[in-house]
Amino acid sequence: MAASHRYLQRVMPVAVPVAQFLAPLPLIFAGILDILNPKVAALAGLTALAPWLLKWARTGRVSRPLVVGIPLTVLAVTAVVSLQTAYYAGNSLPTVLTLLGCIALFATIVNTNIPPRKLAAGLALIAAILAVYFVTQYAYFPYPAENEPWQRPITALALATGAILPNVAFFVPHVNGVAAFLQGALLLNLALVRGSQNRQRFFWLAVFVLLGYALLITGSRGSWLGLAVALFIWGMLWLSVRVKRVGVAVVIGGGLATLALLWALLTFSSLAQAAQSRFNLYLSSLYLLADYPFTGIGPGKGFGLIYSRYQLLINHVFLTYPHNLYLTVGLSFGLPGLLALLWLMVNFFRFVIQVELAAAPSPQKMVFRAAWLAVVAQFTHGLLDATQFAGELWAMPMLFALLGLAILAGHTLHPSTKTVPAKIRWAVAGGLAILLLLAGGLFQQQLRAAWYANLGAVAQTRADFAPALSEDEQAAFRRQAAGYFHRALQIAPHQPTAHLRLGLLALADRKFETAKEHLQQAYAVQPHNPAVLKALGLTYTWLGQPDQAEALFRQRSDLPAIKSELDTWGWWWQEKYRRTDLAKQAKDMAQRLSVE
């Protein structure tokens, strides 16, 4: 009995943390592997909850202070609600399951008794495994050929080292997903190198080189930007004298500006084109978010069809996600989800500032600093990409692991760090509630109209894309959508989403005069909305008003694409509907747009 007791004393300190870390993994893998069986998902969810239920039963409390617990809860709720608003829940369920599993992983890390440095080492080693796979198998991945001049030497280097091992590739990771996964671990590695000695230091230096090389060959400018911002902040914090900080800031800033200028000079045309394309995507995504502000469109694979149909006005997928973390979250979960993410960021960085000001320099503080700067790198990268919430769900756990590690390390450094006092919290909450009530009273007409327009957009989306609907069911959803849009216009006669969507419905039914009336109203409110410009331009074309149509088309930045689509329209009107008049008008408009 005594021997058994001693064995348990040795095993339990290891077994309990291992069990805690294993608990969220089924839920995460169910999402990543797209396992949609309800029984499997429910079992995985119960497995993720089990440690917290047991802890509550044993101690009467669930968790240490999570710092960002409330915004994470709001984000989780909006994610679950989004399953009801998505046109097909199967597209969204993988992202929701992965997100819920990642939140459980975050809570596990914050509550673990494992030292933060060991956790940082574990995350760096996991990233190193991915880096080895990516570097040694790069030549076997069917990545498209790069046309950008600046990327060709990087790709050549990657191909030269990318066949070190035989072909054992079992999945093809997106380069931006690899970059998002590795960039935070690279910063953790700096802290591990700094805090190690002798052979350990050489080992972590080797891992640092591996991660850096893998990050280089991804060609991910967004991850490089995130790293540059994080390293710049780290440099400023490392120097204690203000004059030195200013001097280093000038040197680093001047160096980065010079490199950016040289880069732009070498690849000006391609960069300018890429920047214009990205700007158009962000602008169109913002207008699309304005159509679904309360509910979002649902996370996952739904964006591609919705964006193409209602912003590009084409019937095939062009882009699969908005290439921006904040737009992706907003479109996935609506403005409540986006506000929850911003709330999370505010709480997190307030905590970071508290610990940075209170804790003395130490090896432990270096791990904390590396962890929160890794989060900074992730959020900065999110300005230009968002693979964690789109196609590469396997990259999402690293973001939440870094968040958890930073908070755990902060609690370890400064256990007395507390949240804002209850009186202040209640005062702020009360003030915000009063402001919301005042805003709701002042803008209640616009908000009610936007709500009905949002409901109409959801119904229209289901009519167009929900699988296995009969023609009668599709027609019923369209009637429901039109009813919501008209209700919105009764409340606010100039509501732009309602006018745009009614115009698109009329355009699809070839009721061009009706479409013109609604689209002109939408144009009066949203004259820069690319979807409005294109829809109204097409309407004028079919009504035989080429001057008005050309003026609208020329306000867009994608004239070659518009011309190509008009050529297709000409063939479509001729071959499918035998409308030679409309076919000729389409071809004539394409010809007019060919003239500079």
* Number of CB atoms found within 10 A of residue 230's CB: 27
Long-range contacts of 406-409 (CB under 8 A, 24+ apart): 406/348, 406/352, 406/368, 406/371, 406/372, 406/374, 406/375, 407/66, 407/67, 407/68, 407/109, 407/110, 407/348, 407/351, 408/109, 408/110, 408/112, 408/116, 408/119, 409/116, 409/364, 409/367, 409/368, 409/371
Residues 304 and 570: their CA atoms lie apart, in Å, by: 25
Structural Rg of the chain based on CA atoms: 27
pTM (predicted TM-score):
0.90
For every residue of 220-254, DSSP letters joined together read -HHHHHHHHHHHHHHHHHH--SHHHHHHHHHHHHH
Question: Which residue type sits at 509?
Answer: D
Please report the pLDDT score of residue 11 as a whole number: 44
Ordered domains of the chain (ranges, CATH): 2-419 (no CATH), 446-594 (1.25.40.10)
Question: Which residue type sits at 84?
Answer: Q
Cα 593 to Cα 52, 396, 528: the distances in Å are 63, 44, 19
pLDDT per residue over 135-151, tens digit each?
A: 999 999 988 876 667 67
Do the Cβ atoms of 76 and 101 come closer than 8 Å? no
How high is the mean pLDDT of the chain?
A: 87
Please report the pLDDT score of residue 269 as a whole number: 43
Question: Which residue type sits at 17?
Answer: P
Residues 293 and 322: their CA atoms lie apart, in Å, by: 16
Residue 578, sorted as left (phi over 0), alpha (psi -120 to 50) or beta, turns out to be left
Residues 134 and 169: their CA atoms lie apart, in Å, by: 9
Residue with tokens 């080429």, as numbered in its chain: 546
Structure tokens at 564: 């190509």
Do the Cβ atoms of 20 and 63 come closer than 8 Å? no
- pLDDT grade, residue 3 (50/70/90)? low
* Number of CB atoms found within 10 A of residue 61's CB: 9
Helix (H) / strand (E) element for 422: namely: helix 422-442
Q: How far apart are the first and last CA of the chain?
A: 91
pLDDT per residue over 86-123, tens digit each?
A: 999 989 999 999 999 999 999 999 999 899 999 999 99
* Number of CB atoms found within 10 A of residue 431's CB: 10
pLDDT per residue over 6-62, tens digit each?
A: 544 454 455 567 778 899 999 999 999 998 888 888 899 999 988 888 878 777 777
